[in-house]
Amino acid sequence: MSKTFLTDMFFDELNSSVLDIDKAETLPPLCYTDAGFFEFEKKALFDKEWLCVGRVDWIPNPGDFYTSEIIDEPIVVVHDRDGTIRAMSSVCQHRAMLVAEGSGNTRTFTCPYHHWIYNLKGELINAPAMEKTCDFHKEESSLPVFKLEIWHGFIFINFNDDAEPLTPRLAALEPILANYDIENAEGPVPDRNIKYEFSWKVMFENNNDGYHANKLHQGEFHDYIPSDLAEFPEQLPENTAGFFRTNGTLHKDASFNPTQKALMPVFPKLTEEERNRMAFANLPPTLSLVLTSDAVIYLILRADGPESHKLDLGVLFAKGAMDDPEFDNKMEMVLERALDINAQDVHVDELVQIGLRSRFAKRGRYSWQEGAQRQFNTWLVPRYRAHWEDIKQQAAVGE
């Protein structure tokens, strides 16, 4: 595991990635490939930032639960019978067996190994044959419960109990999302646990990238959303937890399907301006949103290695859209185009990951149409630098 990047010089060089777009350069390839850097990144980002792990509508009823994992941490999210949404470690506090798999509805979580039983609050309520164990107290063996926030129906957790609240740090995104009413939107069951063999950052950058749209997806897939109509906010708050871009369209209510126009009901509160553009909102390191006039596509990225991650992919429509007798047929058309575009993106991402391993991979320069990549860097680099300073301070204390 390489730690050669743990130098002041390396982190000072990252500053060039947050310069103005006409001067900025990409992150070093090592940031996408190196196992040691991923271990550093887990502490710099994933142990401190808010992580999207799903949506409230995945667990609509009391007792509903689903499982997930990110950076090798197994998680169970449950709708408690008192109405509370709760996220916990699904690791039994006895011998580390997982107490939940998949999804379903339950009254308790029972470890299948030794039948320790936890309630939906994570409290241990039964531990068979432990009466002869000295100084064993059930109340000391609860499942760890994570700090949780719900934002527009998305469930976020934080492994850091002292983390600042998420919602106030997303104020810059509210004007972009407000009229989509995402909290009350509806959609079919998402496609979960899609495994990709490339870095989560490679996919996050691809999700942000308007520069490639009319090149890779040229023709009927994307030409009605020209890359040269991309716009980026001039300034975002320094402590923002998310960023966005917009992209004008050649016709009103453009959408990703073979007709190139909205098939589903248009979100009723959208303005004329919003119906003549698309928006892309990003909450690293886990959530990307693509907003069209009739659909919101969400991508939840769950890193599990330096060069791999899992994806939960879903789409949301205006409330009532699924009542349309033609919904299934329309959904097929939406999926047809989405899968075509996704196949092109995934193929490119796989090849980018191969290229990043090369001795000839270098730090490149950006087009103005890649402004969202600089936004991403502006989120990443200060967090990398802050953790490096923490490491140096801890080392100094230990001397």
Beta bridge partners of 313: 191, 299
Q: What's the whole-number mean pLDDT along residues 384-393?
A: 96
DSSP reduced 3-state for 311: strand
What confidence tens digit (pLDDT) does each residue in 55-77 have?
999 999 999 999 999 999 999 99
Q: What's the whole-number mean pLDDT along residues 308-335?
A: 96
Cα-trace Rg, the chain? 22
**What pLDDT is attached to residue 99?**
98
Q: Does the pLDDT value for residue 398 go beyond 90?
A: no
**What pLDDT is attached to residue 338?**
85
d(CA 101, CA 118): 14
Single-letter amino acid, residue 291: L
How many other CB atoms are there within 10 angstroms of residue 24's CB atom? 20
Q: What's the whole-number mean pLDDT along residues 70-87?
A: 97
Q: Does the pLDDT value for residue 2 go beyond 80?
A: no
Contact status, residue 250 vs residue 263, Cβ threshold 8 Å: no
Q: Rank 208-212, 292-296, 341-345 by mean pLDDT and report only the highest.
A: 292-296
Pairing of strands 277-283, 287-291: antiparallel
**What pLDDT is attached to residue 57?**
97
**What pLDDT is attached to residue 193?**
97
**What pLDDT is attached to residue 219?**
84
* Of residues 24, 373, 19, 34, the one with CA closest to residue 204: 373
CA separation, residue 309 to residues 70, 164, 228 (Å): 9, 26, 31
Q: Does the pLDDT value for residue 330 go beyond 60?
A: yes
d(CA 210, CA 227): 6
d(CA 268, CA 273): 13
Is CATH 2.102.10.10 the right assignment for the domain spanning 51-151?
Answer: yes
Question: Domain coordinates of the chain in residue numbers?
Answer: 8-46+171-387, 51-151
Q: Confirm whether pTM is higher than 0.85.
A: yes
Contact status, residue 183 vs residue 139, Cβ threshold 8 Å: no
What confidence tens digit (pLDDT) does each residue in 235-288 have?
777 789 999 999 999 999 999 999 999 999 999 999 999 999 999 999 999 999
Single-letter amino acid, residue 212: H
How many other CB atoms are there within 10 angstroms of residue 100's CB atom? 25
How many other CB atoms are there within 10 angstroms of residue 323's CB atom? 9
Single-letter amino acid, residue 336: E
Q: What's the whole-number mean pLDDT along residues 173-180?
A: 96
Under the banding of pLDDT at 50, 70 and 90, the label for residue 399 is low
Mean predicted lDDT score pLDDT of the chain? 95
C-alpha torsion sign, points 222, 228, 230, 232: positive
What confidence tens digit (pLDDT) does each residue in 92-130 have?
999 999 999 999 999 999 999 999 999 999 999 999 999
Contact partners, residue 99, CB within 8 Å, separation at least 6: 76, 90, 91, 92, 109, 110, 111, 116, 118, 143
Q: Which of 3.40.640.10, 3.40.50.1110, 3.40.50.300, 3.90.380.10 is the CATH number of 8-46+171-387?
A: 3.90.380.10
d(CA 370, CA 79): 40
CA separation, residue 336 to residues 330, 332, 343, 373 (Å): 10, 6, 11, 28
Give the length of the chain: 399
d(CA 243, CA 272): 22
Q: What's the whole-number mean pLDDT along residues 340-356?
A: 95
Under the banding of pLDDT at 50, 70 and 90, the label for residue 397 is confident
